[in-house]
């Protein structure tokens, strides 16, 4: 991973005041930055839903109820990841370090994915070097999707905005089957090398086998539907959660408004870290109570990147401070309705499939 050095600019002053104002908000109101009773209710709710829907799925004799329970369980598990796993990975779901770690490990590993790989690289790569190719693990070098203007332009990229939605359906299945497994053999579509310690390799394999066991083998053993029915439910479940996952996160960092900055030959970037976060993230419906509750604050992505040490249940109260200071310091905060961010995502894919020298669009508010 290429380490980057940042410069000082108006973003540095903005960020210093943002930290001071948010500290004053929490201390002045006598509240913690971690999750509150609302967060505790969400933790209990989502884990309870996961268990209840799974028990319903493996005990029903009705085929429609089986499919419905299976898909709703998959959606509930994804929402658990949005609302619990993510904040726990940042150590802010609850006050206790032990419980944050346990919540993160449980909610992530039981999805068949490795908590160590995601947590380490999310915090040390994506959050630090957002959208910088060769430094941000989430900038892919997938030959089917061209993500930056430094990647080779192939003839078929001209149609990537058309076939991308089909590929998106396989996102979680690819993650489960190939993404982490290939990392064991030093093969990856990521633009940085990922090393997995041996104990985590063992856990990675064990939890994937466990996931196959309770999502495929146990339902086949307990229910009268057969392998074909259960495998179809398994595939439909992954298609559903992939569509929701990419629809929620894909529009934040892949948009014709965002930048993919490049450091100079000495590894120095001509902007501050706070400014990087704001020019590489798009927020949508950031003030929406529904989106905040359902998506765990992922719709307020720029705010999260700047203040990852704050639980998402506080975002709605922090946003007015954030907007006020961005305007005060002349910092562009890209916020829009979801439909506009989705359109910008597909404009980006279309432009990247046709232009060698791509330039982001100017954000007009």
Residue 196 falls inside a structural domain: yes
Burial of 42: CB neighbours in 10 Å, binned 0-12, 13-18, 19+: buried
Q: Which of 333, 272, 278, 279 is nearest to 9 (CA)?
A: 272
Residue 365 falls inside a structural domain: no
Looking at every residue in the chain, the average pLDDT score rounds to 90
Burial of 64: CB neighbours in 10 Å, binned 0-12, 13-18, 19+: exposed
**Tens-digit pLDDT profile for residues 273-310:** 999 999 999 999 999 999 999 999 999 999 999 999 99
- Transcribe 177-217 into DSSP letters: IIIHHHHHTT--SBSS-----HHHHHHHHHHHHHHHIIIII
Distance CA 220, CA 363 (A): 52
Structure-model confidence comparison of residues 138 and 328, the more confident one = 328
- The residue length of the chain stands at 365
pLDDT at 189: 56
Residue 154 falls inside a structural domain: yes
Residue 359 falls inside a structural domain: no
pTM metric for this prediction = 0.91
How many beta carbons lie within 10 A of that of residue 59, not counting itself? 12
Residue 361 falls inside a structural domain: no
- Span 320-345, mean pLDDT? 95
**Tens-digit pLDDT profile for residues 25-72:** 999 999 999 999 999 999 999 999 999 999 999 999 999 999 999 999
Residue 306 falls inside a structural domain: yes
Residue 182 falls inside a structural domain: yes
Containing domain of residue 71, as a range?
Answer: 10-352
Q: Around 304, how many Cα atoms within 13 Å sit in the side-chain half-sphere?
A: 32
Q: Give CA separation, 243 vs 25, 106, 249, in Å.
A: 37, 23, 10
For residue 2, is pLDDT > 80? no
Q: Is 298 helix (H, G, I), strand (E, B) or coil?
A: coil
User: How many structural domains is the chain composed of?
Assistant: 1
Block residue for tokens 């086949």: 220
Residue 287 falls inside a structural domain: yes
pLDDT at 133: 83
**Percentage, residues of the chain above pLDDT 70:** 97
**Tens-digit pLDDT profile for residues 150-200:** 888 999 999 999 999 999 999 999 888 888 887 777 766 555 667 788 888
């Amino acid at each position: 991973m290429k380490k980057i050095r940042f410069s000082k600019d108006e973003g540095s002053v903005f960020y210093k005041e943002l930290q001071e104002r948010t500290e004053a908000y929490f201390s002045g109101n006598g509240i913690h930055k971690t999750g509150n009773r609302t967060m505790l209710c969400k933790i209990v709710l989502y884990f309870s839903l996961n268990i209840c829907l799974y028990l319903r799925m493996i005990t029903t004799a009705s085929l429609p109820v089986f499919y419905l329970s299976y898909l709703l369980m998959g959606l509930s598990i994804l929402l658990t990841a949005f609302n619990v796993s993510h904040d726990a990975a940042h150590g802010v779901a609850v006050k206790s370090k032990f419980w944050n770690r346990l919540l993160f490990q449980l909610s992530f590993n039981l999805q068949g994915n490795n908590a160590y790989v995601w947590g380490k690289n999310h915090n040390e790569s994506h959050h630090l070097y957002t959208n910088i190719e060769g430094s941000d693990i989430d900038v892919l070098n997938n030959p089917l999707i061209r993500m930056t203007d430094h990647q080779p332009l192939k003839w078929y990229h001209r149609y990537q905005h058309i076939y991308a939605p089909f590929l998106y359906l396989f996102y979680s299945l690819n993650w489960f089957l190939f993404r982490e497994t290939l990392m064991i053999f030093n093969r990856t579509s990521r633009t940085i090398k990922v090393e997995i310690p041996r104990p985590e390799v063992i856990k990675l394999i064990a939890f994937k086998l466990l996931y196959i066991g309770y999502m495929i083998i146990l339902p086949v053993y307990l229910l009268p539907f057969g392998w074909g029915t259960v495998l179809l439910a398994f595939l439909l479940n992954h298609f559903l959660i992939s569509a929701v996952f990419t629809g929620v996160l894909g529009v934040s960092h892949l948009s014709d408004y965002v930048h993919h900055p490049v450091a100079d030959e000495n590894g120095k970037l001509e902007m501050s870290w706070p400014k990087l976060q704001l020019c590489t993230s798009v927020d949508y419906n950031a003030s929406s109570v529904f989106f905040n509750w359902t998506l765990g604050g992922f719709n307020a992505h720029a705010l999260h990147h700047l203040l990852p040490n704050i639980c998402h249940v506080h975002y709605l109260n922090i946003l007015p401070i954030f907007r006020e200071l961005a305007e005060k310091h002349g910092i562009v905060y890209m916020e829009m309705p979801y439909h506009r961010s989705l359109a910008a995502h597909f404009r980006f894919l279309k432009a990247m499939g046709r232009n060698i020298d791509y330039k982001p669009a100017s954000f007009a508010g």
